[in-house]
Amino acid sequence: MASTVFITGATSGFGEACARRFAAAGWSLVLTGRREERLQALASELAQQVEVLPLVLDVRDRAAMERAIDGLPAGFEKLTGLINNAGLALGTDPAPKCDLDDWETMVDTNVKGLIYATRLLLPRLIAHGRGASIVNLGSVAGNYPYPGSHVYGASKAFVGQFSLNLRCDLQGTGVRVTNLEPGLCESEFSLVRFGGDQSKYDATYAGAEPVQPQDIADTIFWIMNQPAHININRLEVMPVSQSWAGFAIERNR
Ligand code: NDP
Ligand code: 8X3
C-alpha cells in the first residue's frame, strides 16, 4: 500500500504544491478545499499518476468534516501524513477597525478547522503508527507580534502550542508532529488577506524574492520523510530578504 497524505486546502498555494510534490513521489492523496472546480481539476490531473480522493469540504463545518472522514473508503484506514494547511488571514487594519466577523472566520478556520481535522484523523494516523506525521501550518506571525496581525497571529500561536502539546499526547504512538512556521511566501494568501486587491498583493512581494509554495512543499516532504525516529518539532522558514524590525515607541514631546 502506497503512503497516503491528507491535505487540507489543496486548491492553491502550499496545499496544491504539496499535492504535486507528494504525487511525484507516488503517495496517494486525499485533497480537500471549498472550490470544487479547482479541486476536481487538480484531482483529475494527479489521478494520472497516483490514487487521488478529492473531498469538497469547508474545514469550519464540523458535521461535514465528521461525515467526510467517517465515510473515507476502504484503503484509507491508515494515513501516513496529515498536512493541516487550510487557513487564511483577513485584513491588516489595526484591531479597533477590524470586522468581528473576520476575526471569527480566522478562528473558525485556523483554529477550529485544524483541530477538527486533527482529532478526526488521529485514529488513522495512530493506526499507521511509526513514521506517520502531522505537519501543521503555523507562521512567523505566531512567534512575533506585528501591527495588524492580532487574531491571525494569535491563531498561529495556538497552532504552535497545540502542535507541541499534541506531541506529548502522541508519545508512544510513533506519530510525529511539526509546526512549520513560514514567513513571507508568495501565494493567494495575500490576495485573500487584502480582499482581492492586486496592487497590495504586488506591493507585498515586490523585489523581495519571497519563498514559493514549491519551497514549502519540498520542506514538508523533507519533514515527513525523515527517519521514523526523528521529529522536527518546529521549523521557521523565511526568505533571506526578510528579517525583524525594532520595537515601536510612542514618545511624549
Ligand atoms: P492560499 O490562500 O494560497 O491557500 C489557502 C488554502 O486554504 C486554499 O486551498 C483554500 O481553499 C483553503 N481554505 C481556506 N479556508 C478554507 C476553509 N474554510 N475550508 C477549507 N479550505 C479552506 O494560502 P497559502 O497556501 O499561502 O497558505 C496555506 C497556509 O499557510 C495557511 O494556513 C496560511 O495561514 C499559512 N501560511 C501562509 C504564509 C504565506 O505567506 N503565504 C506564511 C505562513 C503561513 P478554498 O478557498 O478552495 O477552500
Ligand atoms: C503569513 C506570514 O508574515 O504575513 O503567515 O504573517 S505573515
Q: Residue 252 has what pLDDT?
A: 93
Residue nearest to atom 25 of ligand 1 (CA): 13
CA of 98 to the centre of ligand 2 (A): 17
Mean pLDDT, to the nearest integer, of 235-241? 98
Average model confidence (pLDDT) across the chain: 98
Ligand 2, CB within 6 Å, residue ranges: 139-141, 149, 183-184
Query: Cell digits for 26?
Result: 507516488
Residue 9 confidence (pLDDT): 98
Give me the residue label for grid cell 484503503: 75
Ligand nearest to the CA of 220: 1
Q: pLDDT tens digits for 190-199?
A: 999 999 999 9
pLDDT-derived band at 67 (thresholds 50, 70, 90) equals very high
Ligand positioned closest to the Cα atom of 9: 1
Please give the distance, rounded to the nearest whole angstrom, from the Cα atom of residue 250 to the centre of ligand 1.
35
144, 152, 201, 205: the catalytic one is 152
CB 29 within 8 A of CB 19: yes
Cα(172) to ligand 2 centroid in Å equals 34
Query: How is the chain split into domains, by residue range?
Result: 4-237
Q: Which three cell numbers stand for residue 228?
A: 521514523
3-state secondary structure 11-35: CCHHHHHHHHHHHHCCCEEEEEECC
> Torsion angle of alpha carbons 103, 107, 109, 113, nearest 10°?
-160
- Look at residue 249 in the predicted model and tell me its pLDDT: 95
- Spell out the CATH class of 4-237: alpha beta
pLDDT tens-digit readout, 78-113: 999 999 999 999 999 999 999 999 999 999 999 999
- Relative to the CA of 190, which ligand 2 atom is closest? 4
Helix (H) or strand (E) holding 56: strand 52-56
Instruction: Categorize the per-residue pLDDT at 32 as very low, low, confident or very high, splitting at 50, 70 and 90.
Output: very high
pLDDT digits (tens, 9 = 90+) for 44-54: 999 999 999 99
* Amino acid present at 132: A
pLDDT at 40: 98
Q: Return phi, psi of residue 134, to 5°.
A: -115, 125
Active site residue 152: yes
Ligand 1 centroid to Cα of residue 15, in Å, is 7
Grid cell for residue 33: 478545499
